Amino acid sequence: MLSCAARLVRAQIQSKPTACWVVAARGYADIVDEATFTTNEYALHKLDEGPSQTVTVTRDDALKYYRQMQTIRRMETAAGNLYKSKVIRGFCHLYSGQEACAVGMEAALTPDDHVITAYRAHGWTYTRGVPPVNILAELTGRKTGCAKGKGGSMHMYGKNFYGGNGIVGAQVPLGAGIALALKYTGSNNVCVALYGDGAANQGQVFETYNMAKLWDLPVIFVCENNGYGMGTAVERASASTDYYTRGDYVPGIRADGMDVLAVREATRFAAEWCRSGKGPVILEVATYRYSGHSMSDPGTSYRPREEIQEMRKTRDPITGLREKLISANIATAEEMKQIDLDVRAEIDKAVEQAKTDPELPVEEMYTDIFVDEPPFKVRGTNPFMYGMSK
């Protein structure tokens, strides 16, 4: 029945040669394979030369970055909606608006480099290789989640990805520790330790700067400065809002965090610096988050709605990349629209799966306590309840 009708309609098209011709005459010939752009200036601290302002990107890479950013955006929107329908409970910190940081940095790193970040980690979990369906299943607490559903939003882990840390600024010393391990074992890899503008004022961060510089650890300290530490604007929280200079003796770079290519270039520079044994680097990415600090924060009580709207209109990383690619003829608007639709379909499917996958059985309460330990008895929630760890 379907094919009959389709044939009928196809016949009608063929009887209109002009329509066909127009369809076939799309300008694929104009698409180039590579393009060069100029980024905004980088601010440098204790560095004579910085990352190059001229960035080149190939077509494949560009579409990959676009797809990754769009996936993160849609995944975070889906997580927000799931939270609002009470399918996800607890904490949920969304990354919408900051996608260029994760995607840009990942583009300059290898899967053998290590990353540790704070609780706004869903985007990083994705770029570190965990599929969106496992991230969403972790948020909804299912067996198929990347931490078996035991961790939730703030405790997602992957290969060479150490989460997902709830305590503000706690991950920075850990990041330096990972870098120490990398240097000690003689590998050529770096560790990226991310923190926010709020955590930048924590004491242990400065202790870490000292140790990292003293021992020349290959760690890139990344400050994701989104302008607000929960609800406090940076001007009201920090005496110096030039977070890239806060390391004093640690060289620093500030890059535009809404431009994925600028972030990639800056990270490339920083990674090369660290890999050549010159010690740590601070990379401040000036970015913005559209949602509130977490799902319990509407995000509009400490900043005007117009500011958010303006950032969305003028500095959105995804639309920024899209415009760049279309104007440089690397990709067409239709292609990108198709990517949007594909991503939307993928995330919708992932959401459905995240809602219907099975939850962990109660016996899993007693597992994953120690590594490589033979099974032992574990007390449950009262003195009369026991289970066996596996």
Partner 1 sequence: MASSVLWRTLGRTKLLPSHTLGRPAGCTEWYRNFYRTPEVFGVAPIKLHMPALSPTMEEGTIISWLKKEGDPIAAGDPLCEIETDKATLTMDADDDGVMAKILVPGNTKNVRINELIALMVAEGEDHTQVDIPTETGTPSAAVDTPADAPVPTATEDTSSSEFSSMRHVAGGKGHVDLSPAVRYLVDSNGLDAAAIVPTGPHGRLLKGDVLKFLAGDPSSRRQEVVAPTMPSAPTPLAAPPPPPPPVTHPAVPPAAAEEDEFVDIPHTSMRRVIAKRLTQSKTTVPHAYSSIDCEMGSVLRLRKQLQGSGVKVSVNDFIIKAVGQALKTVPEVNAQWMGEAVQLLSNVDISVAVATDKGLITPIVTDVPSRGLQNISETVKELAGRARIGKLLPQEYQGGTFSVSNLGMFGISQFSAIINPPQSCIMAIGGSRVLVEPTEDGHTTKTVMTVTLCSDSRVVDDALASTFLENFKENLENPFKAALL
Would you count residue 80 as binding partner 1 (CB under 8 A)? yes
Residue 7: strand, helix, or coil? helix
Residue of 103, 118, 116 whose CA lies nearest to 153: 118
Paired tokens of 274: 């660290």
CB of 344 to partner 1, least distance (A): 7
Would you count residue 48 as binding partner 1 (CB under 8 A)? no
Among 44, 180, 237, 308, binds partner 1 (CB under 8 A): 308
Cα 290 to chain center, whole Å? 14
CA 4 → CA 10, 12, 19, 244, distances in Å?
10, 13, 21, 66
Token pair 């033979």 is at which residue? 374
In the region spanning residues 343 to 362, those forming contacts with partner 1, defined by CB under 8 A, are 344-345, 348, 358-359
Would you count residue 23 as binding partner 1 (CB under 8 A)? yes
Q: Where are the alpha helices (DSSP H) in the chain?
A: 2-14, 17-24, 59-84, 99-108, 122-127, 132-139, 171-184, 203-214, 234-237, 260-275, 305-314, 317-327, 333-356
CA 270 → CA 1, 18, 102, 241, 321, distances in Å?
61, 55, 15, 21, 22
CB of 77 to partner 1, least distance (A): 5
CB 141 within 8 A of CB 364: no
CB of 194 to partner 1, least distance (A): 25
Would you count residue 56 as binding partner 1 (CB under 8 A)? no
- Give me the residues paired with residue 193 across strands: 116, 221
Would you count residue 277 as binding partner 1 (CB under 8 A)? no
Would you count residue 377 as binding partner 1 (CB under 8 A)? no
Instruction: Identify which of residues 116 and 339 has a Cβ nearer to partner 1 in the complex.
Output: 339
Among 1, 29, 239, 362, binds partner 1 (CB under 8 A): 1
Among 67, 89, 155, 213, binds partner 1 (CB under 8 A): 89
Residue of 132, 117, 154, 151 whose CA lies nearest to 69: 132
Considering only 77-85, 251-259, 265-273, 275-283, which stretch makes contact with partner 1 by CB under 8 A? 77-85
Considering only 144-152, 158-166, 204-212, 342-350, which stretch makes contact with partner 1 by CB under 8 A? 342-350
Residue 192 DSSP code? E
Would you count residue 150 as binding partner 1 (CB under 8 A)? no
Would you count residue 18 as binding partner 1 (CB under 8 A)? no
Applying CB under 8 A, the residues found at the interface with partner 1 are 1, 5-6, 9-10, 13, 23-24, 26, 77, 80-81, 83-87, 89, 290, 296, 298, 300, 305, 308-309, 312-313, 334, 337-338, 341, 344-345, 348, 358-359
